[in-house]
Amino acid sequence: MPDDPSSNASSPSSSEASPSPFARLRDRIVATVSHHLPEGSDGGPAIEEPPKRTGSYARWLPLLRVTPWILAVTFAVSFAWDFPGVTVSVAGYAIGLENLLRYTTVSGLIGFGTNWLAITMLFRPRQERPIVGQGLVPSQRERVAYRLAQAVSEELINKRIIIQKIRESGLAAQYRDLLVAMMGDVVTDDEVRAELKTLLRTVLRDVLSTPAVQDRIADFTAEQMEQNAEGLPGVALSAYRLFSEADFQARLRQATRRLPQTVGPMLDRLPAHLDRHGDAIEDLLSRLILRLVGTLDVERIIFENVRAYDEQQLEMLLRRTTNEQLNYIKYLGAVLGIIGGLIIRAPAPTLTVVTTAGLLVYGIDELLFRVQSASSSP
């Protein structure tokens, strides 16, 4: 009668469906240990992004943004009308206003243009060009990455700081307690004990069933006994081996064959053994953690990560924190250019007004600063 194909087809799948003893033991240990593992990082609440500080310049920035456009329109108007023949008298000093619009608008546009060009040249061109070259930040990307990595690794996060934080956190003691608790649950779990005993007994029985292995274990045990037996016990052992070497070897082989039966008692003693040697375990974990930290090259890690940024990513990284300040500097150039144009057109009265206004602003600012400092100090 031919074989049933369905039975043949089902036999491989049934063998694949039944996991090996090692797989069953692994799954059971993972299920037991998972109850002790932390669900997530409990290092405290996440650090919130600090609020964006907006100085007085933030209030003026919307007005400054339209200044270049006003200057451009006024410059175009100056070709049609620019105070022709108009003169004013200030404190007995006659000031001609003809071409005033052109002086101030050209100076303002130059001030804005130079600041815009300087800020743009920090980041553009991103790729090196034959004539205009490359922006400052892209061309110095490697050096920026190196300096940033050096500063961070020396001042912010280095091996010394990491080791100090590990010691302060008591991480080794926490993992020692966690290890003892996990091993206690593992060896007291009935299913784990059954699977582990079965697996170890099978492995030990297979290994120790070879006479050559038994002989090697017996010889090693006898050698260790000879080396560590001193005084009267050593003399007694030597005499016993001299007259009953065959019985001595037979007893060692018999003890070797009984090793698989010691798995259960060994598992029972394991939690207490770990608990008694908790300090040694903590010391071992501390040395392992510190050795791991010692292998870390923090500077190289930071350097390689920053160097991996392309030109656009590096530009966005810098602009994300400085873009508003850079825009303020750029548009402020237009205002300073206007003042420069007025100084060129009418030096004496303009310098007088600008100097007086500057001293007045500085005095008020210094007074307010001292009042705030006095009120905030205890």
Threshold 0.95, pTM exceeds: no
pLDDT of 17: 52
> SS3 breakdown of the chain: % helix, strand, coil, rounded to 5?
80, 5, 20
* Contact by Cβ (8 Å): 33, 182: yes
Domain boundary assignment for the chain: 56-139+311-376
* DSSP H/E element including 94: strand 93-96
* Contact by Cβ (8 Å): 333, 117: no
Strand, helix or coil for residue 197: helix
Full DSSP string of 168-213: HHTHHHHHHHHHHHHHHHHHH-HHHHHHHHHHHHHHHHHHHTSHHH
Read off the pLDDT of residues 65-122 as tens digits, 9 standing for 90 and up: 999 999 999 999 999 998 888 888 877 777 788 888 999 999 999 999 999 999 999 8
**Two tokens at 323?**
């873009």
**Two tokens at 163?**
């080791």
**Two tokens at 90?**
């200030």
* Contact by Cβ (8 Å): 157, 306: no
pLDDT per residue of the chain (378 residues) written in tens, 0 to 9: 444 544 454 444 444 556 676 677 677 777 776 766 666 555 556 667 666 666 666 778 888 899 999 999 999 999 999 888 888 887 777 778 888 899 999 999 999 999 999 999 988 888 888 888 888 888 888 888 888 888 888 877 777 787 787 777 777 777 777 777 777 777 777 777 777 777 777 777 776 667 777 677 767 777 766 666 666 666 666 666 666 667 766 776 677 666 666 766 777 777 777 777 777 877 777 778 778 877 878 788 888 888 888 888 888 888 887 888 888 899 999 999 999 998 888 888 889 889 999 999 999 999 999 998 888 766
pLDDT of 209: 67
Read off the pLDDT of residues 266-313 as tens digits, 9 standing for 90 and up: 777 777 777 777 778 777 777 787 788 778 787 888 888 888 888 888
* Contact by Cβ (8 Å): 268, 187: yes
Residue written as token pair 């404190």: 91
